[in-house]
Structure 1
Amino acid sequence: MRFSTILFGSLALAAAPPAFAQDTAPPKDVTVSGSVGLVSDYRFRGVSQSDENLAVQGGITIAHKSGVYIGTWGSNLAGWGTFGGANMELDLIAGYKLPVGGGTLDVGATWYMYPSGFDNTDFIEPYAKLSGTAGPVALTAGVAYAPKQQALGPWYSNGTSAANGVYDRVNAKDSNLYLWGDVSSGIPDTGLTVKAHVGYSNGNKGLGPFATSVSPTGEYFDWLVGADYVIPGTPLTLGVAYVDTDISKAESAYLQPSFSRGQDGVGSIANGKVLASLTAAF
């Protein structure tokens, strides 16, 4: 889950013991960090992008001491999440972090790309996040707003039109709003961090190019509760989390057969599920 990086970075900084001046190395002008991992199901805002199957993910960030950073992140896709491309999502990220009060303000944008797909499936989403701590607890509040773009528009009014390949509104455009909050806290002397997330999506009610949507039912909530365990002496972290949405089977019926595993029209890819992950950081 991409939203976890800043949370746990903030928590680690907050929990680190103070160092004496003579032991503190001057900050590097440029730092490079990243991770690679496996997840049992890639959920983007509560909705499976890997057809409820295993996904391989990884990313890298290059940050300057001024607060400017650039990065990239990728994952394999399947089913609902393919967006007509090479079954891969590749995000390009750029932003700027600055201290605000006792916390950090992070302002930037993500360009969501689907290699080998058509241009109208890619979209840009600016964001702003405010992170801080309250005792041992790390907190983040964020907003992401994607302006009107073809990738977010209701090209198909329902799943039947999509299955038949008949556009109801060719070149339609729409915008998307996502609000979220994250909280996490490390349990002393255990290597464990507990975490929780809640998000709210508001966008087009319909299906965009290649029968997908960032806000499938127009608006909905997603949430996650879980824990991560850092394996001592290694860069590895084991994670487990329960993720769910308030999208009911009845609400998503008009999206079928797209909104189901294997696109068979049965069940939902936004139902509650326990996820497992193994991540290596560098």
Structure 2
Amino acid sequence: MRKSIIGLTAVLLSTIASPVFAQEEPAPAVTVTGGATVVTDYRFRGISQTDKRFAVQGTFTVAHESGFYATVWGSSIDDYIATGSDQEIDLIAGWAKDFNGTKLDVGVLYYYYPGSGGTNTDFIEPYAAVSHTFGPATAKLSAAYAPKQHALASLGKARQDNLYTAFDLGAGIPETPVSLSAHVGHSFGPSYLTAGSSFSKGYTDWSLGASYTWNHLTFGVSYVDTDGDVFTPSGRNASKAGVVGSVGVAF
């Protein structure tokens, strides 16, 4: 938003000749944002989706001033995640609004795995989150519930559901481009797309991270861990503690 800047004399003249000469430009009703990121390991709720290898990710969001938004997010994945698929595409529709520093965000997310050979791997997950800003810090509570679906089934079950809850805390260090973050989440119920039968009763994940922003670039590093063991077909432990680096660009 740009504000016109004029001298005192011009202000006096404008009030006589044109009372609306000095005014703010209206904010656009619709905004479009996006970005791309390279990560050393794509961790979904603590579990590696890339066999602990690099992933390329991209996103764009269309948002309306009313609070409604739509987002498309995508990442490369390893083919053990969704029966041969090497890509995850998340289709998101939601509504978010800020009420004096408290933000409410509700919506629904559809996980799409193209190239999975017709296997039931796609699933839908409504979510809700509430966050509040305290000076430079923001705390957020969130929950995502996936109702009973074939894609979540494990241990011989036909369909199962999953509930994921999380608490996130983030803060920017004043007068610096550095931000810190902390996360803890718990998954209630199994999902072979994320954890497999080793986590049939649920599991907990957590992380600590830091980021540095320079112009449109953001450099990040985080430590991620869970309280269980999940092994990929290559023999790697996808849930073992690890350090994840990232480089992202926003536009």
User: What range describes the TM-score normalised by the shorter chain of this pair?
Assistant: 0.7 to 0.9
Match of 1:225 in 2: 208
Structure number with greater CO (CA < 8 Å, separation at least 6) is 1
Amino acid aligned to 2:223: Y
Amino acid aligned to 1:203: G
Match of 1:236 in 2: 217
Point out the structure with max Rg over C-alpha.
2
Report if aligned partners of 1:203, 1:214 keep a CA contact under 8 Å in 2.
no
Match of 1:245 in 2: 226
Report if aligned partners of 2:209, 2:223 keep a CA contact under 8 Å in 1.
yes
Within the alignment, does 1:196 sit opposite 2:182 as a pair? yes
Amino acid aligned to 1:142: S
Task: Number of aligned residue pairs: give it.
Answer: 232
Match of 2:110 in 1: 111
Match of 1:277 in 2: 246
Report if aligned partners of 2:212, 2:219 keep a CA contact under 8 Å in 1.
yes
Shift of 1:207: 4.0
Report if aligned partners of 1:89, 1:113 keep a CA contact under 8 Å in 2.
yes
Shift of 1:269: 0.8
**Mapping of residues 125-144 of structure 1, within 5 Å:** 125-144=125-144
Match of 2:59 in 1: 59
Amino acid aligned to 1:70: A
Report if aligned partners of 1:96, 1:106 keep a CA contact under 8 Å in 2.
yes
SS of the residue corresponding to residue 71 of structure 1 reads: strand
Amino acid aligned to 1:238: F
Cα distance in 2, alignment partners of residues 141 and 181 from structure 1: 5
Match of 1:120 in 2: 120
Shift of 1:200: 0.5
Shift of 1:32: 0.5
Report if aligned partners of 1:41, 1:55 keep a CA contact under 8 Å in 2.
yes
Cα distance in 2, alignment partners of residues 264 and 116 from structure 1: 21
Report if aligned partners of 1:201, 1:215 keep a CA contact under 8 Å in 2.
no
Report if aligned partners of 1:39, 1:278 keep a CA contact under 8 Å in 2.
yes
Report if aligned partners of 2:38, 2:247 keep a CA contact under 8 Å in 1.
yes
Moved more, 88-97 or 215-224: 215-224
- CA deviation map 1:149-184 (0-9, x unaligned): 000012xx3xxxxxxxxxx45xx1000000001111
Q: Alpha carbon RMSD of aligned pairs, Å?
A: 2.4
SS of the residue corresponding to residue 121 of structure 1 reads: coil
SS of the residue corresponding to residue 83 of structure 2 reads: coil
Q: As a proportion of its length, which structure holds more helix?
A: 1
User: Taking structure 1 as reference, are residues 215 and 279 closer, same or farther at Cα in structure 2, changes over 3 Å only?
Assistant: farther
Report if aligned partners of 2:178, 2:213 keep a CA contact under 8 Å in 1.
yes
Amino acid aligned to 2:241: G
User: Taking structure 1 as reference, are residues 105 and 119 closer, same or farther at Cα in structure 2, changes over 3 Å only?
Assistant: farther
Report if aligned partners of 1:176, 1:214 keep a CA contact under 8 Å in 2.
no
**Identical residues among aligned pairs (%):** 44
Shift of 1:79: 4.8
Cα distance in 2, alignment partners of residues 131 and 35 from structure 1: 23
Shift of 1:64: 0.4
TM-score after normalising by structure 1? 0.76
Amino acid aligned to 2:222: A
Shift of 1:50: 0.5
Structure 1: stretches of 5+ with no match in the other structure: 1-18, 158-167, 253-258
Report if aligned partners of 2:102, 2:133 keep a CA contact under 8 Å in 1.
yes
Shift of 1:188: 1.9
SS of the residue corresponding to residue 61 of structure 2 reads: strand
Shift of 1:99: 3.0
Match of 2:31 in 1: 31
Report if aligned partners of 2:223, 2:241 keep a CA contact under 8 Å in 1.
yes
- CA deviation map 1:200-228 (0-9, x unaligned): 10113x747xx964983431110110100
Report if aligned partners of 2:79, 2:85 keep a CA contact under 8 Å in 1.
no
Within the alignment, does 1:87 sit opposite 2:98 as a pair? no
User: Taking structure 1 as reference, are residues 185 and 42 closer, same or farther at Cα in structure 2, changes over 3 Å only?
Assistant: same
SS of the residue corresponding to residue 244 of structure 2 reads: strand
Structure 2: stretches of 5+ with no match in the other structure: 6-21
TM-score after normalising by structure 2? 0.85
